Structure 1
Amino acid sequence: MTVMTRIAELALIISTNTEQVDAHLARRGLPSPSFDPDSPAGTLRDSQIVAARLAILEATDELHALMLGPVELLTRQQPYNSWISLQAIVKFGLASSFPPGQVEASFADIAAASSLPEATVRRLLRHAMAFRIFQEPSEGIVRHTTASKTLADTPLLRQWMGMVSEELWPAATKTVEALTKWPGSEEPNHAGFNIAHDTDATIFDEISKYSDRHRRYADAMTFYSKGAGLEAHHILKGYDWSSLGESTIVDVGGSHGTLSIAIAQAFPSLRCVVQDRPHVIGLGQENLPSDLHDRVSFMAHDFFEEQPLRGAEIYTLRWILHDWPDKYAVRILQRLVPALKPGAKVLVLEQVLPSVGELSRYQEKAYRSMDLAMLATHNAKERDMEDWRQLFKMADLGYEITSVTTPKDSRLSIIEATWQSQRAY
């Protein structure tokens, strides 16, 4: 009997699951994915084909790597200059330089709108075209693809791309230099970001000095937090909020209150207090829905200082601790202790790094890439489950991790630590 090779097996997986996706789209009367600028975004996000879509992506990712071979896998899979054209497209507004309502323009027209030389625009956009961002249907004419059109039509996406290319990409290029300069450091200002931007300030403090960078960072985080697997509804479904009755939730480092607003809207008996730096909560207060003014409030608070709101039932830390090295993450947890009553819960809403073999290589990339992004920008890290256990133990033995839940399709887990007793340091 002939044994199916791995590449043939992967091809079969791709074919079988593509048939499922095609059939689903046909039943729903939805168009097949294409690069055409009029192709609707989000047609493949339907929950009924999530598994098939993931299987295709995993199999194509592995097949692509096998077809490259070892040398090209190392030299071509992660081209160091791939961000040049993207950075320029965002920086000079090239995706938005088309005449109003048009999906085509000449290189000359785009150059005139951007103040760049036409020859430079041509080089940049033809590089992007190789990655299926824009297309050239005829000599000298640029046409949107669905990717470039989405970039032109989505301001928050442009802010995200700008933040990545201006803040994160330079930091990534200096990360190994930072590891060489500060080996074993647990200081948040000993990161690639600090060398790249020539500053002794943490990324948060440095960006907050400049209104345009701060706004871009805030917008970028708003965009990213709405991405697949990061939406607030996963947290709402993944924890028994309804059992809390008339309780108070303190949203520590809650930024503009996205999580608290979602909780308050879903559970009318709950009250939420959002804590963050003064200039951050100001934006949250401005955008708070009027019907929540009596149940969602904002308070200026530095989570490195002692928690002022004592006796609440729940304290949440959503995507806070991964921004800080262990030394500082421990300090944040310790500053909560004086406010905790027996039985109080601290909910850490964070990624839990997968154990070896738990996920496909394709899925694992997102976790490992985020881990290195934290290293590059904050000298911090994502943590696996043992890391989380050790972190709470280092903070105080009064903490006991009582449950860990990862809601379906969520990238964030809910780590529940219950305060068992008041302890002196």
Structure 2
Amino acid sequence: MDERLSSQLERYASQVASSAGLIAEHLKSLKDDPSMLPNQTTLPTTIGAAKLELEEAAIQLLHLTRDPGDVLTNLTVDLQFICAVRWLLHFKIHTFVPQDGTISYQELSHMAKVPEKLLRSYLRLAMTGHLFQEYGTTGMVGHSPVSRKLAGDPTLDYWGQYFAETVFPTAAKNVDATATWPDSNKLNETAHNLAFDHHGSFFDYISQDPARTVEFANSMKAVSTTNLFDTSHLCKSFEWSSLGDGVVVDIGGSTGHVSVSLAESFPRLRFVVQDRPEVVLNSIQRLEERELPVSVTTRIRFQGHSLFHLQPVKGAAVYLLRQILHDWPDQEAVQILRNILPALEPKSRIFIADIVLPETGSIPATQERVMRCNDLLLHQFTNTLERTLKDWLAIVRQVSDKLQIQHVYRDPGSILSLIVLRTV
């Protein structure tokens, strides 16, 4: 073993021991014994940092200790694990397992109407990734903390179905899309077009079916609750209280989940959530179902609006585009921003909350790999890619020579950066 590898192993092993020790002591101090580590954003700062360091050290140790010759074996296992999760989600196995308690394979197969032997095979592979658990020598199936959360959260269920029935078949067609349309940047020449045999853009496709619209909106809401995309990062990326009772226009805001998060944290801000009319109708209903305090809901209103029409709300404090521009090629992204310009007043800002691709290896691999994954997902669905800071600067220059990037910030543990634009 060369000295460099030896040094790396010692360094990462030491980091695992140190970080795991801090987290373990924190868990012992809690009144309730959690079944899984709390959400990153709810942890004390020192413990949150230790969690991020533990994740990075653990994944580096995994890669350093794997035999290079086993790469295809491990990739095959990963593929079959994904197939197992898709199978379990498709047949809604998580919904038939009791939230508290167990069920036999025989009864579970009967309820889900799937072969028992195949059910065992898929479940037992999923269990190696802590998805579901088996109890006792008789082979009773119960939830793990992960599958219990999946079964108990409707938005995660939507996301699971979206992953199983949309993301998976789309990714499988990426090679065919490249072979069919080399170097294309057209919105309707994508892996998604091939996977679902349609000729419009991805957003045209989902807008034609209300069920698809709801599934996508709720999937995006679920994504925003995960550690790396949690809306709390946005709350901490700017001094929102400095805006007083200003208006935040949440452009393409879907279910309004981002505005709700900001409204809960900053009680004076007011919000206008804009999206396609069919999305707005569903979002209003979803907001009512959440039974939020009146102090929050009275400060949020919804408005039907297209990104490609002039912004109707004039003089807002902030025009927020959270994970919107990355869905569009440069020309369309420029037009979306130009449509906001006439609405700006001297103190108005445009906030872009999106990925800013880093230099390779400049950030923890646990975060970079998610950014690179999103980069390819965009290509497969919309023929776009995530952007570097240089790319964002080029777009802003095309919009107007009076528009400038004032500030770029990425909250620790977040995948998204906040890019603040102002006119000069």
User: TM-score, structure 1 length as denominator?
Assistant: 0.88
Deviations along 1:284-311, whole A, 9 cap, x unmatched? 3332554456543222111112222333
Counterpart residue number, 1:90: 89
Q: List alignment gaps of at least 5 residues for structure 2.
A: none
- 8 A contact 1:330–1:391 mirrored in 2: yes
2:322 equivalent among 318, 325, 346: 318
Counterpart residue number, 1:24: 26
**Residue 46 of structure 2 is aligned to residue 46 of structure 1:** no
What does 1:347-358 correspond to in 2, within 5 Å?
Answer: 347-358=351-362
Q: Counterpart of 1:65 in structure 2: which amino acid?
A: H
Task: Note closer, same or farther for the CA distance 1:152–1:268 as it changes in structure 2 (3 Å cut).
Answer: closer
Counterpart residue number, 2:255: 256
What does 1:5-404 correspond to in 2, within 5 Å?
Answer: 5-29=7-31, 31=33, 39-40=35-36, 42=38, 46-47=43-44, 48-77=46-75, 79-98=78-97, 100=98, 102-136=100-134, 137-286=136-285, 287=287, 290-292=294-296, 295-404=299-408
SS at match of 1:364: helix
Q: Counterpart of 1:204 in structure 2: which amino acid?
A: F
- 8 A contact 1:276–1:300 mirrored in 2: yes
Please give the alpha-carbon distance, in whole angstroms, between the structure 2 residues aligned to 1:410 and 1:89: 30
Please provide the CA RMSD for this pair. Answer: 2.6
- 8 A contact 1:249–1:273 mirrored in 2: yes
SS at match of 1:272: strand
Task: Note closer, same or farther for the CA distance 1:177–1:139 as it changes in structure 2 (3 Å cut).
Answer: same
- 8 A contact 1:159–1:216 mirrored in 2: yes
Please give the alpha-carbon distance, in whole angstroms, between the structure 1 residues aligned to 2:241 and 2:50: 33
SS at match of 1:201: coil
Please give the alpha-carbon distance, in whole angstroms, between the structure 2 residues aligned to 1:152 and 1:245: 40
Q: List alignment gaps of at least 5 residues for structure 1.
A: 34-38, 421-425
- 8 A contact 1:65–1:73 mirrored in 2: no
Please give the alpha-carbon distance, in whole angstroms, between the structure 2 residues aligned to 1:56 and 1:90: 30
Please give the alpha-carbon distance, in whole angstroms, between the structure 2 residues aligned to 1:354 and 1:105: 47
Q: Counterpart of 2:26 in structure 1: which amino acid?
A: H
Task: Note closer, same or farther for the CA distance 1:195–1:108 as it changes in structure 2 (3 Å cut).
Answer: same
Q: Counterpart of 1:352 in structure 2: which amino acid?
A: V
Please give the alpha-carbon distance, in whole angstroms, between the structure 1 residues aligned to 2:325 and 2:158: 24
Please give the alpha-carbon distance, in whole angstroms, between the structure 1 residues aligned to 2:155 and 2:248: 29
Using the TM superposition, give the Cα deviation of residue 368 of structure 1 relative to its aligned residue in structure 2, in angstroms. Answer: 0.9
Using the TM superposition, give the Cα deviation of residue 244 of structure 1 relative to its aligned residue in structure 2, in angstroms. Answer: 2.9
SS at match of 1:407: coil
Please give the alpha-carbon distance, in whole angstroms, between the structure 1 residues aligned to 2:91 and 2:119: 10
Q: Counterpart of 1:377 in structure 2: which amino acid?
A: F
User: TM-score, structure 2 length as denominator?
Assistant: 0.88
What's the % identity of the aligned pairs?
32
SS at match of 1:81: helix
